[in-house]
Amino acid sequence: MHSPEFVLGQDDSKASQRTFRIETRQGNNPGYPDVTGHGPVSKGDSLRCVLVGVYDETHSSSTSCVLRFAKHEDYTLAGGQSLQSPVKGELYLECSGDKPRRCIVQVN
């Protein structure tokens, strides 16, 4: 039985794939300054909203990940939703809502 062989010049997509997270905190999160996260993405990267949190004593508020690309439309993802990046460029992450909130997008 032979194992798969690596051929010079071929790209092993699993080995070259990068994964990172972009985090945003807005609206006086306890113990943390406001941060608008951003990072470079490539066209076709998987963008998944992995965390949405709201600091609200009434627990009646919700938030989502808002993905902004320069010169392109915005995309809104609920927690757990994902999409493929439509463009290569800088991604800016915002959290929707009016209460102190936090959201994270994972990029693969």
pLDDT digits (tens, 9 = 90+) for 77-88: 999 999 999 999
β-pairing, 75-77 with 38-41?
unpaired
Decide: 94 and 60 in contact? Cβ < 8 Å.
no
| Phi/psi at 37 (5° precision) | -75, 150
Residue 67 has pLDDT above 70, yes or no: yes
**Mean pLDDT taken over the chain:** 84
The larger pLDDT score, comparing residue 55 to residue 105, is at 105
Do the domain assignments include residue 66? yes
The larger pLDDT score, comparing residue 29 to residue 86, is at 86
Residue 94 has pLDDT above 90, yes or no: yes
Residue 85's domain is classified under what CATH number? 2.60.120
Do the domain assignments include residue 7? no
Q: Quick one: which of 63, 53, 60, 57 has its CA closest to 98?
A: 63
Percentage of the chain beyond pLDDT 90 is 58
Do the domain assignments include residue 9? no
Looking at residue 3, its pLDDT comes to: 34
d(CA 94, CA 103): 8
C-alpha radius of gyration, the chain, whole number: 17
Domain count within the chain: 1
Average pLDDT over residues 59-66: 87
Segments forming the whole domain that contains residue 32: 18-107
Do the domain assignments include residue 4? no
Do the domain assignments include residue 13? no
Do the domain assignments include residue 58? yes
Do the domain assignments include residue 2? no
Model pLDDT for residues 5-21, shown as the tens digit of each residue: 333 344 444 445 689 99
d(CA 55, CA 92): 22
